[in-house]
Amino acid sequence: MSLGTAVKAYSLGSMQSPAPTLAQRLWLAVLAAATAGYRVGVEVRDWTFASGLRRIRRLPCPVVSIGNLTVGGTGKTPCTIALAQRLRGWGHAAGILLRGYGRHASGVTLAADDREVRSRWEAVGDEAMLLARRLPGVPVVVGASRFQAGQETLRRFRLDVLLLDDGFQHRQLHRDVDLVLVDATDAFGGGRLLPRGRLREPVAALCRAQAIILTRSDQASDLPGLRRCLEQIVPGAVQVLARHRPARLMRFPGDEEYPLASLGGRRVLAVSGIANPAGFHRTLADLGAVVVGRLVFPDHHPYEPGDLLRMSQAARETEAEWIVITEKDHVRMPAVDLDPGEAARPVRPVMVLGVDLEITEGAAALEALLLRYVGGTRG
């Protein structure tokens, strides 16, 4: 079975769509033309690297990339956090490089050094700030050129491995290991490239990966079928199963912690500005929360006091007891502390739900792969 046939067979078996209307067919024709242009751009870029026309540059230490094939939230940030923690447990000094999507600055910027957080999220992006907060002592450096960011990082800190967050399409920097995250609930983004689908590049690009991490594997509709399909695309690649595990519940502003069981039976308004709000909503429901309302903002949305007013109004209208946000939203939420009588203050407590990436199968094979390139032994 060819690669295209395998992907199509899996996609048809996992989701069905109603026949499009005439207007929808016309719009799909426009998207198909745009997608054809996007494909040409991707193919030209790949050819420039394959032919040597564009140089792939190396840093003097191992580089591990954590990326994905589709746009949207597959769990790269929780995976980077988990991997940095594991490397630290093995005695490695790791740093993190990322582009810093949505930031209001240019050049190479330090989000955190080996002692403390050094920047605001507006200067480095919400993902960099979340990494900096969750990984004290790990340098987090942002730059459009990951090579230049890596050079600056290695100049300032004594590190023996660098993690490249969202780096699968950043071909300019050599990486020793490519870990690609695939959302098991929507593995191939509709099977089409942007803008008609959600694929950043053709599925065949997975052949560059040494390991595939299937996130949200506990929510997959046909996990065995997806694994067989991936085995045909990337024969012999390590396959790892993972899930998003709820781990923390904190009140905002502040950091007072609550047990996750506090969500059981509680009426909540779910507020998010992330790529995959459906996963957040499902996690709340799995924890026993009664999701009485949803406010969905664009991904990386910069919250303003007016948004808090909208949240407050929605909480009153739905009779929610709590407003629950994600950790990424927490980074972008203004820490206002107005009097209860002031209109801009949410009338319900705002709670932050944090998740970790938990590997449920394949941990030993992934560790063996990493240690082969990074060196050392398991701690």
- Kindly list the averaged pLDDT for each block of 10 residues, start to end, along the chain of length 379: 58 61 89 95 95 96 97 93 96 96 87 90 94 96 96 96 96 97 94 94 96 96 97 97 97 92 98 94 97 96 91 94 96 67 64 97 97 78
pLDDT score recorded for residue 2 = 57
Other CB atoms within 10 A of residue 181 CB: 28
- In this structure, what token pair is assigned to residue 174? 């050599």
The tally of domains found in the chain comes to 2
Examine the domain organization and report whether 94 and 198 are in the same domain.
yes
Residue 219 placed within a domain: yes
pLDDT score recorded for residue 118 = 87
- From residue 110, alpha-carbon distances to 96, 141, 155, 255 in Å are 10, 5, 13, 24
Residue 37 placed within a domain: no
Residue 40 placed within a domain: no
Examine the domain organization and report whether 257 and 200 are in the same domain.
no
Residue 311 placed within a domain: yes
- In this structure, what token pair is assigned to residue 10? 């899996």
Question: The domain spanning residue 328 has which CATH number?
Answer: 3.40.50
Examine the domain organization and report whether 197 and 250 are in the same domain.
no
Residue 301 placed within a domain: yes
Which own/partner pairs from 284-289 qualify as long-range (CB within 8 Å, at least 24 positions apart)?
284/324, 284/353, 286/246, 287/246, 287/260, 287/263, 288/261, 288/263, 288/264, 289/263, 289/264, 289/265, 289/324
pLDDT score recorded for residue 296 = 97
Examine the domain organization and report whether 151 and 107 are in the same domain.
yes
- Written as one letter, the residue type at 209 is A
pLDDT tens per residue across span 27-57: 989 999 999 999 999 999 999 999 999 999 9
pLDDT score recorded for residue 5 = 56
Q: Where are the alpha helices (DSSP H) in the chain?
A: 3-14, 22-50, 76-89, 121-124, 126-134, 146-156, 223-233, 277-286, 305-318, 327-332, 363-374
- In this structure, what token pair is assigned to residue 74? 């597959």
Q: SS3 helix, strand, coil % of the chain, rounded to 5?
A: 40, 25, 40
Element (H, E) at 7: helix 3-14
Nearest to 314 by CA among 346, 282, 275: 346
Question: The domain spanning residue 101 has which CATH number?
Answer: 3.40.50.300
Domain that holds residue 254: 246-355
- Written as one letter, the residue type at 51 is S
pLDDT score recorded for residue 12 = 46
Residue 141 placed within a domain: yes
- In this structure, what token pair is assigned to residue 244? 């998003």
pLDDT score recorded for residue 23 = 87
pLDDT score recorded for residue 255 = 81
Nearest to 263 by CA among 294, 289, 290, 281: 289
Over the Cα atoms of the chain, what is R_g? Answer: 21
Examine the domain organization and report whether 104 and 221 are in the same domain.
yes
Other CB atoms within 10 A of residue 343 CB: 11
Examine the domain organization and report whether 206 and 108 are in the same domain.
yes
Examine the domain organization and report whether 137 and 68 are in the same domain.
yes
Q: Which residues pair with 48 in a beta bridge?
A: none
Examine the domain organization and report whether 228 and 250 are in the same domain.
no
pLDDT score recorded for residue 190 = 86
Residue 35 placed within a domain: no
Examine the domain organization and report whether 121 and 227 are in the same domain.
yes
Omega into 235 within 30° of 0, i.e. cis?
Answer: no
CA 194 to chain centre: 18
- The answer to whether 373 touches 95, Cβ cutoff 8 Å, is no
Q: Which residues pair with 140 in a beta bridge?
A: 96, 112
Examine the domain organization and report whether 223 and 365 are in the same domain.
yes
pLDDT tens per residue across span 317-371: 999 999 999 999 999 998 754 344 444 555 689 999 999 999 999 999 999 999 9
pLDDT score recorded for residue 108 = 95
3 state DSSP class of 215: strand
Burial class of 91 by CB neighbour count within 10 A (0 to 12, 13 to 18, 19+): exposed
Examine the domain organization and report whether 269 and 344 are in the same domain.
yes
Give the Cα separation of 44 and 42 in Å (integer).
Answer: 5
Residue 209 placed within a domain: yes
Residue that is written with structure tokens 């002692």 in the block:
115
Give the Cα separation of 355 and 143 in Å (integer).
Answer: 26
Examine the domain organization and report whether 80 and 198 are in the same domain.
yes
- In this structure, what token pair is assigned to residue 71? 């746009």
Residue that is written with structure tokens 């949207």 in the block:
72
The number of residues in the chain equals 379
pLDDT score recorded for residue 338 = 39
Is the pTM above the cut of 0.85?
yes
